[in-house]
Amino acid sequence: MSEATLNETEPGKSTLENRIYRAVVKRTERLTEGMMRIVLGGPDLETFLSTGIGDEYIRLFLPERGESIPVYPHPEGEYWEYDADQVAGPMRTYTIRAVDPRAGEISVDFVVHPGGIAADWALGALPGSQVGFNTPNGLYALPVEATWQILLADATGLPAAARLLENAPAGLRTTAILEVSGPDHEQDLQLGADTQVRWMHGGNGNSPSRLAEVLRGLELPEGPGYIWVAGEARVTREARKYLRKELKLPVTHFKVVGYWTDKAEEWNERYEALGEDFKKWLEELWSTDTDPEIIQDEVADVFDANGL
């Protein structure tokens, strides 16, 4: 599902050399009631290259449930492939929360929600556990003229928002609005002089998210700025529609990314029921060279019309 949500934004291409890293878990840390940190290292990570972009994400190649070793693909063109005798395992998208080049380590923070292969893997990970991942890519792109930025995220976007807050340049007025399930899901974040954080409680699959409504109610600061939103796909779709259609912000002044789909199994059923022609139409739409923002507008309207 993370594929579908990300494709709503853009496929995303990294400018770094295409690689598949084989990583081992160095240590784990329960950050809060709802979040688990996994620190990855191993020989491959000694030469790991980061994009340096705060919301950089990777595709994790995870072991099947009950297995301990993932099936590793090999890099092919801009993506990756499996050999004919390999059966691809589960793949999920995660943010690199922190990079420690001297230690050859990266950290990934997992929301530990029920029923997720990745979430369960993180809960059961032990030093020495193995996982693969690809070359990172980031989507956040602050315009040079921006004097302020607003970051809105639920728990899945919290790792990226936290890194963006740490990276926020001095003088850039930064506000983060973070929606987590409750007070015991809040984190102590490193904040610069010009940054502030507002915590909200709810959403995250437990109750309806208020992120889009809060965005709508914001009085935006004067001057050029940037708005970055990450969260549940229907919520981010609503947020994007507001920024693009109502505020008519130029596309260079916002980035809205669907990170996950609530009740993904039901979503999948509705999606499958639309049949092969619909899927083919969607695939063809994404493969055209039409402006991805226009494609996204069309996909959003069609998804809304079909209850997706």
Ligand X SMILES: Cc1cc2nc3c(=O)[nH]c(=O)nc-3n(C[C@H](O)[C@H](O)[C@H](O)COP(=O)(O)OP(=O)(O)OC[C@H]3O[C@@H](n4cnc5c(N)ncnc54)[C@H](O)[C@@H]3O)c2cc1C
Which residues are near ligand X by CB under 6 A?
1-2, 5-6, 57, 92-95, 109-111, 113, 115-119, 156, 159, 204-205, 257, 259-265
User: By C-beta, is 111 or 243 nearer to ligand X?
Assistant: 111
β-strands 57-61, 195-201 pairing? unpaired
User: By C-beta, is 3 or 145 nearer to ligand X?
Assistant: 3
Closest approach of ligand X to the CB of residue 26, in Å: 18
Q: What is the DSSP string of the chain?
A: -HHHHHHTT-----SSPP-EEEEEEEEEEEEETTEEEEEEESGGGGG------TT-EEEEEPPPTT-SSPPP-EEETTEEE--TT-----EEEEE--EEETTTTEEEEEEE--TT-HHHHHHHH--TT-EEEEE--B------TT-SEEEEEE-GGGHHHHHHHHHHPPTT-EEEEEEEESSGGG-------TTEEEEEEE--TTTS---HHHHHHH--PPSSSEEEEEEEEHHHHHHHHHIIIIIS---GGGEEEEEEE-TTHHHHHHHHHHTHHHHHHHHHHHHHS-S-HHHHHHHHHHHHHHTT-
Could you give the CA distance from residue 182 to residue 36 in angstroms, rounded to a whole number? 16
What phi and psi, each to the nearest 5 degrees, are found at residue 53? -85, 135
Closest approach of ligand X to the CB of residue 118, in Å: 4
User: By C-beta, is 20 or 173 nearer to ligand X?
Assistant: 20
Closest approach of ligand X to the CB of residue 113, in Å: 3
User: By C-beta, is 173 or 264 nearer to ligand X?
Assistant: 264
Closest listed residue to residue 54, CA positions, set 235, 176, 145: 176
User: By C-beta, is 179 or 238 nearer to ligand X?
Assistant: 179
Closest approach of ligand X to the CB of residue 187, in Å: 13
Closest approach of ligand X to the CB of residue 132, in Å: 15
Residue 71 identity (one-letter amino acid): V
User: By C-beta, is 69 or 218 nearer to ligand X?
Assistant: 69
User: By C-beta, is 85 or 265 nearer to ligand X?
Assistant: 265
The residues with which 214 forms a beta bridge, in sequence order, are: none
User: By C-beta, is 173 or 197 nearer to ligand X?
Assistant: 197
Closest approach of ligand X to the CB of residue 260, in Å: 3
Closest approach of ligand X to the CB of residue 117, in Å: 4
Among all residues, whose Cβ is closest to ligand X?
116
Closest approach of ligand X to the CB of residue 139, in Å: 7
